[in-house]
Amino acid sequence: MLRYSLKRLISLILSLAVASLVIFFVIEIAPGDPASFMLGINAQPDTIEALRSELGLDVPKIERYLDWVGGMLHGDFGTSYTYRTPVTKMVTDRLWVSLPLALYALALSTLIAFPAGIYAAARRGKPGDMAVMGATQLGVAIPNFWFAMMLVLIFAINLRWFGAGGFAGWNKGFWTGIHSLTLPAIALALPQAAILARVMRSALLDILGEDFMRTARAKGLSRRQALWRHALRNAMIPVLTIIGLQFSFLLAGAIIIEQVFYLPGLGRLVFQAITARDLIVVESVVMLLVFAVITVNFLVDLAYAAVDPRLRQRT
């Protein structure tokens, strides 16, 4: 297991190094100069050059890249061009919204999908199975931003059970913060739960058709006992893959939901930084999200090895 983990860790480090190069240079070569954007079209060339010098944009790109990577290794992401505040503080403040939202949505998605997928697999071809599959098909088809607006219309405007947007803050209490994130989490979770439930059902049905499952049934186990004792564990590998991908999506791809609910999260920060040409913020947040995605995939690989020891012997 240690050897397997070390190989995956080396792969993680190499992936991060390549990702940092791609992120930095792709964003840097994008059209539009931050200094010119900040000063406007009527700014004098010497004023623009002075601001470029102040922001460090006159330094060669390779030197800026090395400074950026070196700073990140010490927890320093630089200073925002627009707000003139440390990017680390901006990211940390918004991470306290985006990370709990992603975890909350993932928990809801898993709590909905696992029972639904297991129920459908245990009743293959029966009305219960068809009902679950119909509901998941609907969940996959509905755009999450439309679903989010329907949640606001019903539960915030009509019933007034929740606020229509904004985040109360964790300083007002844990449950107050959770209450603020409930509608956005539901809007994110239900489409992902539909996908996860279908994967769970499909994986279980594949396992139930294996020879060792027929042997278990021949030894006297009922279909339900065989499912719970043997099939569920063996079906977890594709399910873990989807859970890992979903967490990465929920953390990095919630920009539309954050816009709908006016949440001060990472997605909204990236959107504002792009419109303001605040390159250092865009680079740092995207790098942080890539780090989260790669780290989650690393943890999923370790979970694979824990669920199926045969994977350790193949590396």
- Give residue 49's pLDDT: 84
Rounded to whole angstroms, the Cα distance separating 128 from 203 reads 18
Terminus-to-terminus CA distance in the chain, angstroms? 10
Q: Which one-letter amino acid corresponds to residue 267? A: G
Rounded to whole angstroms, the Cα distance separating 77 from 86 reads 7
Sign of the torsion formed by the C-alpha atoms of 131, 134, 140 and 143 = negative
- Give residue 215's pLDDT: 76
Q: Output the six-digit token pair for 13.
A: 């480090």
Rounded to whole angstroms, the Cα distance separating 28 from 14 reads 21
Cα–Cα distance list, 315 to 131, 184, 306, 310 (Å)? 42, 41, 14, 10
Q: What is the DSSP string of 226-272?
A: HIIIIIHHHTHHHHHHHHHHHHHHHHHS-HHHHHHTT--SHHHHHHH
Q: Where are the domains of the chain?
A: 31-76, 88-313
Q: Within the chain, where are the H helices?
A: 2-28, 34-39, 45-55, 61-73, 87-122, 127-141, 144-151, 174-208, 211-218, 223-226, 232-234, 236-252, 255-260, 266-275, 279-307, 310-313
In degrees, to the nearest 5, what angle opens at C-alpha 121 toward C-alphas 116 and 125? 110
Residue/partner pairs of 119-126 with CB below 8 Å, 24 or more apart: 120/197, 120/201, 121/200, 121/201, 121/204, 121/205, 121/208, 121/227, 121/231, 122/223, 122/224, 122/227, 124/205
Q: Supply the pTM of this predicted model.
A: 0.81
Widest pairwise Cα distance in the chain: 86
Per-residue pLDDT of the chain (315 residues; tens, 9 = 90+): 677 778 778 888 898 899 999 998 888 887 777 887 787 777 788 888 888 888 888 888 898 899 988 888 888 888 888 888 899 899 888 889 989 999 999 999 999 999 998 888 888 888 888 999 999 998 888 888 889 899 999 999 998 898 888 888 888 889 999 999 999 999 999 989 999 999 988 888 887 777 777 777 677 777 666 777 667 777 777 887 788 888 878 877 678 888 889 888 888 888 888 888 888 888 888 888 888 888 887 887 777 676 666 655 555
Query: Per the CATH hierarchy, to which homologous superfamily does domain 88-313 belong?
Result: MetI-like (1.10.3720.10)
Sign of the torsion formed by the C-alpha atoms of 249, 250, 255 and 260 = positive
Q: Which one-letter amino acid corresponds to residue 127? A: P
